Amino acid sequence: MLFSQLIFNLERGKAELQEHYLGKDPELLTGASLENASSSQLTFLEQESSLKSQLSESKAGAVLLPPQPELIQKASEIGISWAVLKNPRLAFAESLSLLNPRERPPEGIHPTAVLGENVLIGNKVSIGAHVSIGNNCEIGNRSIIHPGVVIYANVLIDEDSELHANCVIHTSSNLGKRTTIHSNAVIGSEGFGFVPTSNGWYKMPQTGIVIIESDVEIGCGSTVDRPAVGETRIGAGTKIDNLVQIGHGVTTGKGCAMAAQVGIAGGAQLGDGVILAGQVGVGNRVHVGNRVIASSKCGIHADIADNEIISGFPAIPNRLWLRCAASFKRLPELAKTIRDISRAASE
Amino acid sequence: MLFSQLIFNLERGKAELQEHYLGKDPELLTGASLENASSSQLTFLEQESSLKSQLSESKAGAVLLPPQPELIQKASEIGISWAVLKNPRLAFAESLSLLNPRERPPEGIHPTAVLGENVLIGNKVSIGAHVSIGNNCEIGNRSIIHPGVVIYANVLIDEDSELHANCVIHTSSNLGKRTTIHSNAVIGSEGFGFVPTSNGWYKMPQTGIVIIESDVEIGCGSTVDRPAVGETRIGAGTKIDNLVQIGHGVTTGKGCAMAAQVGIAGGAQLGDGVILAGQVGVGNRVHVGNRVIASSKCGIHADIADNEIISGFPAIPNRLWLRCAASFKRLPELAKTIRDISRAASE
Amino acid sequence: MLFSQLIFNLERGKAELQEHYLGKDPELLTGASLENASSSQLTFLEQESSLKSQLSESKAGAVLLPPQPELIQKASEIGISWAVLKNPRLAFAESLSLLNPRERPPEGIHPTAVLGENVLIGNKVSIGAHVSIGNNCEIGNRSIIHPGVVIYANVLIDEDSELHANCVIHTSSNLGKRTTIHSNAVIGSEGFGFVPTSNGWYKMPQTGIVIIESDVEIGCGSTVDRPAVGETRIGAGTKIDNLVQIGHGVTTGKGCAMAAQVGIAGGAQLGDGVILAGQVGVGNRVHVGNRVIASSKCGIHADIADNEIISGFPAIPNRLWLRCAASFKRLPELAKTIRDISRAASE
């Protein structure tokens, strides 16, 4: 795609194109990072990027820039094509979609797929090899079910969803529009509920359901359990990375983001816009307020108010934790000082 | 199901029905939590429940109560049907099984399933679409193998077991009666064993086997490795949640419970009734005593005696850890006090 | 296999056979640990083994020993066959391969496998039941694809590789010679990249690829993501255990080892020979030097120099951490001492 064609599209995008310089109007094939980009590649820089100084050595065909005069000047000096946008990272994302449009598998139902009774398949759906779909399911228009996916009975999958290879959707789950489930994720499996008895653990039947709202993405190998009663709910626009565990009866608000290996125990409730970094744990029935940010490996055992930034285990405010962690390194030294003072005092 | 029919069944259950009040003998369809239950739903309350005060506003059709006079009185006042049982949670579990009996997939072997040579299939077994079973396997009576499951050669699966979609059972594994393996779990895969050499890691062949005793449940995506020699063993009645790693040569006692994302390193040995909360780690060859309880994110590096309750990393007694964690938050302040004293002393 | 035959093979192996005593030249069937070995089993002892004292009670058919005269003498006294090798553990690994040679599934393409257009299959390849392979893939000579594996389009798999049941390889991934991918692992899935906008998270297309160099092993359920641009690369000879997350754009050096449930965030770079114990986390874009060893649950947030041994969260030198952890246990006591001193001083 010529850079001029890309500009034509970015003008209609959301990244707010401000000005641009076509230069030799290079043919762009793919995107690349600033250090690695070649003359057929697009790259970008952000306001706060530590790579700014490397712009003058870039071999990229074109660069997307934030509205910063010194960057524009530098790009012009080295004769590279450029565009200035309010949000160059967003423009880069839009550009990658244009340069490398996602290939759709062919429409239709592969002959090796096995469908139960009373399955409704929308228009332009693609169902891959060795897929298994239980009775009374519904697959919305344009949805893609990749090979090896297993869907139990009574599942609803709304329009424009994509289920990657070998993921499993359990009975009565309800997936909203534009849901993406990545490979080997498991949605709607039985929650971990047992009643202790004198004869051992007695299984609590998990008769509830999982509801995934629209525009949710769930990573490879992640698991979202259904509860004993009621529902587990993932709020619209929430993005979940790989190997994340969502316990039975959890609800999340809209637009949350969870990095890999996060674990959320049964009945916990997350507000809107919560961000959990990698390997964070949230305890049973804990309420996490809107827009809370938890740094990696944080363990959240008690309710957290809106807008808090937390760290550590048990979780405390991030700023306090940074100071505590700094003191922790000096503990042996502090302990020695105390001993010295104590000894001096008792002499 | 009419409440009276449910009572008839609970009298034969294990939750010890003491008395009941049929009221209008409501038709019950499902279970629900106390806050959400409607007139066609059953709910329950426990001795220590924080929801007790909400009983008077419940719209449930019927409620299962512990033997507490004030709760019985309140239920009677609002005219709700009730039953009193020694263990209302257990009664609720029994009730859910009655109200929503598990649907069994149809008996028989799906035509797309691929079976090796010398495979023995018991009576009333269900084998789903696209299942693959290796040579010399045996599937016990009434067991259910859901679609997409892969079973390698020489595997024994005892009666009344259920293997959920896309799980994998590796060679020579031995699964006891009433085993449940959830979706995408992997049993009997090669343990992580390598010998360091001057040419890099040399693979230690993993020629041992995995034995899963009866009544074990293993969660979605969890992995149980086989050892170089000997066996990995999961004790009877042990329940394992999602995304748990059980290393090669681990043995667990009977009736253990492990929450999601627990990791147990090779050769560790757990006693009976051990409970590990979410994201706990157990080190190589560590012995964990009977009935030990480890709180979430705990890291167990050294042997633990019977009946200990432990927390933190490295694991210490829970009570001590609670006090240490409280002090940790005050570390910067303590450090400052020490500096002040030290300065005062040296003046 | 007779012990004499084993010796014949070990002489040609890498463990450096020094001397041996055939004794009754026992027929050996399998390997076992020293405590459990019977007369038809081989066992071994290492220089530093805590089991040495048990040698005199061993019922093993034969034992592999390090060059230690007292062990040789003890073995001779009890009349057990023995061999002395510089590296008895390596010899045991070689022996297990000889005693229990891996069974290869039959050559050929199972009739239920579904192959796309322009797929190149090498010689002596085995492709199992219900495998799905996309367009333009290449499978090298002697590689084994177990049942249920899904390979997207444009994937290259080099010679002598093994893909275990139900793993998934995403588009354009490139797997080197002798790669092993264990069950339910996912290679080349979309990295977790989103641009925050006023309308929520906007997906950053993941147009890069994953490159797995030769002799790499990736455990069950582990995930290796592809990046927005460029590559994710796993260095030659690296061994990765189960349920490990490798984020988009990560590169690892040669011969690294990662235990179960390790998580490496996007863009992190590991040197050669890095060893990460269980549940370790590595933060975004962090550089971890050559031969760094991180103990379990360690959280690495900042760059680490070559050869460091680190622990804790945030990661600090292991020796310091051990002392800090010891002090942590005494925090309540230290806090009390400070209070006492402080009170005394102010009186």
Tens-digit pLDDT profile for residues A101-143: 988 999 999 999 999 999 999 999 999 999 999 999 999 999 9
- The answer as to whether B262 is a domain residue is yes
Same domain, C171 and C316: yes
- The answer as to whether C286 is a domain residue is yes
Given C166, C301, C313, which is nearest A166 (Cβ)?
C166
| Residue B338 pLDDT | 85
From the candidates B182, B248, B287, B301, which is the catalytic residue? B248
Residue of B nearest to A196 (CA): B90
The side-by-side arrangement of strands in the sheet containing B257-258 is B108-109, B126-127, B144-145, B162-163, B180-181, B217-218, B239-240, B257-258, B275-276, B293-294, B309-311, B316-317
Catalytic residues of A: 248
Contact B254, B231 (CB under 8 A): no
Best of A199, A233, A327 to disrupt the B interface (most B CBs within 10 Å) is A327
What is the b/e burial string over B244-261, where b = at least 16 CB atoms within 10 angstroms of the residue's CB? bbbbbbbbbbbbbbbbbb
Contact B44, B91 (CB under 8 A): yes
pLDDT confidence band for A326 (50 / 70 / 90): very high
Same domain, C172 and C316: yes
Tell me which chain B residues have a C-beta less than 8 angstroms from the C-beta of C90: 195, 197, 202
Residue of B nearest to A230 (CA): B32
Tell me which chain A residues have a C-beta less than 8 angstroms from the C-beta of C190: 182
Subunits with 3+ Cβ pairs within 8 Å of C are A, B
Side chain identity at residue C137, one-letter code: C
Residue of A nearest to C198 (CA): A14
d(CA A273, CA A309) in angstroms, rounded, equals: 12
Given B201, B202, B313, which is nearest C257 (Cβ)?
B201
Q: Please give the backbone phi and psi of residue B54, each rounded to the nearest 5 degrees, phi first.
A: -85, -5
Tell me which chain C residues have a C-beta less than 8 angstroms from the C-beta of B197: 14, 87, 90
Domain at C16, CATH number? 3.40.1390.10
For residue B346, pLDDT beyond 90 = no
This prediction has a pTM of 0.97
Q: Which of A278-287, A327-336, B85-94, B270-279 has the lowest mean pLDDT?
A: A327-336
Number of domains in chain A: 2
Tell me which chain C residues have a C-beta less than 8 angstroms from the C-beta of B200: 215, 237, 254-255
pLDDT confidence band for C21 (50 / 70 / 90): very high
Given B186, B207, B324, which is nearest C220 (Cβ)?
B186
Structure ipTM over 0.90, yes or no: yes
- Distances from the Cα of B25 to the Cα of A4, A205, B18, B56, angstroms: 75, 23, 18, 19
- Distances from the Cα of B236 to the Cα of A89, B181, B211, angstroms: 54, 14, 10
- The answer as to whether C281 is a domain residue is yes
For B285, other C-beta atoms within 10 Å of its C-beta total: 15
Residues in contact with A257: Cβ distance below 8 Å, sequence separation at least 6, in sequence order:
A238, A239, A240, A274, A275, A276, C194, C201
| Residue B52 pLDDT | 80
Tell me which chain A residues have a C-beta less than 8 angstroms from the C-beta of B237: 200-201
d(CA A233, CA B246) in angstroms, rounded, equals: 29
Task: Based on the residue annotation, tell me whether C170 is a catalytic residue of this protein.
Answer: no
Same domain, B71 and B209: no
Residue of C nearest to A33 (CA): C229
Mean pLDDT for all residues in chain C: 95
Q: How many residues does chain A have?
A: 347
Same domain, B78 and B218: no
Given A92, A129, A329, which is nearest C316 (Cβ)?
A329
- The answer as to whether A143 is a domain residue is no
pLDDT digits (tens, 9 = 90+) for A184-199: 999 999 999 999 999 9
Same domain, A267 and A178: yes
**How far B20 CA sits from the closest chain A CA (Å)?**
22
Best of B311, B327, B330, B336 to disrupt the C interface (most C CBs within 10 Å) is B327
Side chain identity at residue B128, one-letter code: G
From the candidates C182, C248, C287, C301, which is the catalytic residue? C248
pLDDT digits (tens, 9 = 90+) for A66-103: 999 999 999 998 889 999 999 999 999 999 999 999 88
pLDDT confidence band for B341 (50 / 70 / 90): confident
Best of B135, B167, B245, B343 to disrupt the C interface (most C CBs within 10 Å) is B245
Same domain, A180 and A301: yes
Residue at which a domain ends, from A99, A131, A159: A99
- The answer as to whether B152 is a domain residue is no
Given A166, A223, A301, which is nearest B243 (Cβ)?
A223
For residue A309, pLDDT beyond 90 = yes
Residues in contact with B340: Cβ distance below 8 Å, sequence separation at least 6, in sequence order:
none
Same domain, B69 and B174: no
Q: For residues B53-61, give the mean pLDDT.
A: 90
CA atoms within 13 A on the CB side of B32: 17
d(CA A309, CA A324) in angstroms, rounded, equals: 15
d(CA C45, CA C36) in angstroms, rounded, equals: 13
Q: Which of A247-261, B299-313, C72-86 has the lowest mean pLDDT?
A: C72-86
| Residue A51 pLDDT | 79
Given A165, A331, A342, which is nearest C341 (Cβ)?
A342
pLDDT digits (tens, 9 = 90+) for A52-71: 888 988 999 999 999 999 99
Q: What is the DSSP letter of A8?
A: H
d(CA A194, CA A146) in angstroms, rounded, equals: 34
Whether A323 sits inside 8 A of B338 (CB atoms) is no
| Residue A347 pLDDT | 67
Whether C221 sits inside 8 A of B243 (CB atoms) is yes
Contact C242, C258 (CB under 8 A): no
What is the count of residue pairs from A and B with beta carbons less than 8 Å apart? 183
The residue that leads in pLDDT, B338 or C325, is: C325
Same domain, C64 and C176: no
Tell me which chain A residues have a C-beta less than 8 angstroms from the C-beta of C132: 128-130, 147-148, 165
**How far C199 CA sits from the closest chain B CA (Å)?**
32
Whether C225 sits inside 8 A of A217 (CB atoms) is no
Q: What is the DSSP letter of B113?
A: -
Q: Which of B35-49, B104-118, B249-263 has the lowest mean pLDDT?
A: B35-49
| Residue B50 pLDDT | 80
- DSSP-derived pairing of the beta strands A309-311 and A316-317: antiparallel
Percent of chain A with pLDDT over 90: 90
Q: What is the DSSP letter of C218?
A: E
Side chain identity at residue B329, one-letter code: K
Tell me which chain C residues have a C-beta less than 8 angstroms from the C-beta of B345: 345
Best of B202, B261, B318 to disrupt the C interface (most C CBs within 10 Å) is B202
Same domain, A192 and A301: yes
- Distances from the Cα of A153 to the Cα of A160, A188, B101, B311, C225, angstroms: 20, 11, 15, 42, 31
Tell me which chain C residues have a C-beta less than 8 angstroms from the C-beta of B247: 260
Tell me which chain C residues have a C-beta less than 8 angstroms from the C-beta of B261: 261
Whether B32 sits inside 8 A of A195 (CB atoms) is no
Contact A258, A276 (CB under 8 A): yes
d(CA C195, CA A92) in angstroms, rounded, equals: 10
Q: Which two three-digit tokens encode residue C177?
A: 């010679």
For residue B297, pLDDT beyond 80 = yes
Residue at which a domain ends, from B99, B132, B155: B99
Domain at C292, CATH number? 2.160.10.10
**How far A192 CA sits from the closest chain B CA (Å)?**
6
Q: How many residues does chain C have?
A: 347
| Residue C347 pLDDT | 67
d(CA B176, CA C310) in angstroms, rounded, equals: 42
The 3-state DSSP class for residue C42 equals strand
What is the count of residue pairs from B and C with beta carbons less than 8 Å apart? 184
**How far A170 CA sits from the closest chain B CA (Å)?**
9
Nearest to B168 by CA among C184, C26, A305, A235: C184
pLDDT confidence band for A9 (50 / 70 / 90): very high
pLDDT digits (tens, 9 = 90+) for C101-126: 988 999 999 999 999 999 999 999 99
d(CA B43, CA B313) in angstroms, rounded, equals: 39
Tell me which chain A residues have a C-beta less than 8 angstroms from the C-beta of C152: 165
Residue at which a domain ends, from C76, C99, C122: C99
- The answer as to whether B147 is a domain residue is no
Write out the DSSP string of B221-271. Answer: T-EEEEPSSSEEEE-TT-EE-TT-EE-TT-B--TT-EE-TT-EE-TT-EE-
Same domain, A291 and A188: yes
Whether B130 sits inside 8 A of C128 (CB atoms) is no
Whether B114 sits inside 8 A of C147 (CB atoms) is yes
Whether B192 sits inside 8 A of C241 (CB atoms) is yes
pLDDT confidence band for B347 (50 / 70 / 90): low
For residue C68, pLDDT beyond 90 = yes
Residue of A nearest to B215 (CA): A201
- Distances from the Cα of B69 to the Cα of B56, B60, B66, B74, C35, angstroms: 14, 19, 9, 9, 59
- Distances from the Cα of C288 to the Cα of A188, B83, C237, C318, angstroms: 38, 62, 18, 15
d(CA C100, CA C9) in angstroms, rounded, equals: 14
- The answer as to whether A116 is a domain residue is no
Given C132, C320, C330, which is nearest A148 (Cβ)?
C132
**How far A177 CA sits from the closest chain B CA (Å)?**
24
Given A152, A221, A245, which is nearest B260 (Cβ)?
A245
Residues in contact with A198: Cβ distance below 8 Å, sequence separation at least 6, in sequence order:
none
Given A132, A186, A279, which is nearest B183 (Cβ)?
A186
Mean pLDDT for all residues in chain B: 95
For residue A322, pLDDT beyond 80 = yes
Q: Which two three-digit tokens encode residue A128?
A: 């891959």
How many helices and strands in chain A, by DSSP H and E?
Answer: 5, 37
Instruction: Let me know the angle formed at the C-alpha of A178 by A172 and A184, rounded to the nearest 5 degrees.
Output: 60
Whether C166 sits inside 8 A of B170 (CB atoms) is no
Domain range for C226: 167-322
Contact B292, B307 (CB under 8 A): yes
Tell me which chain A residues have a C-beta less than 8 angstroms from the C-beta of B217: 203
**How far A305 CA sits from the closest chain B CA (Å)?**
18
Same domain, C304 and C183: yes
d(CA A317, CA C23) in angstroms, rounded, equals: 69
Whether C328 sits inside 8 A of B323 (CB atoms) is no
- The answer as to whether C221 is a domain residue is yes
Same domain, C192 and C312: yes
CA atoms within 13 A on the CB side of A339: 9
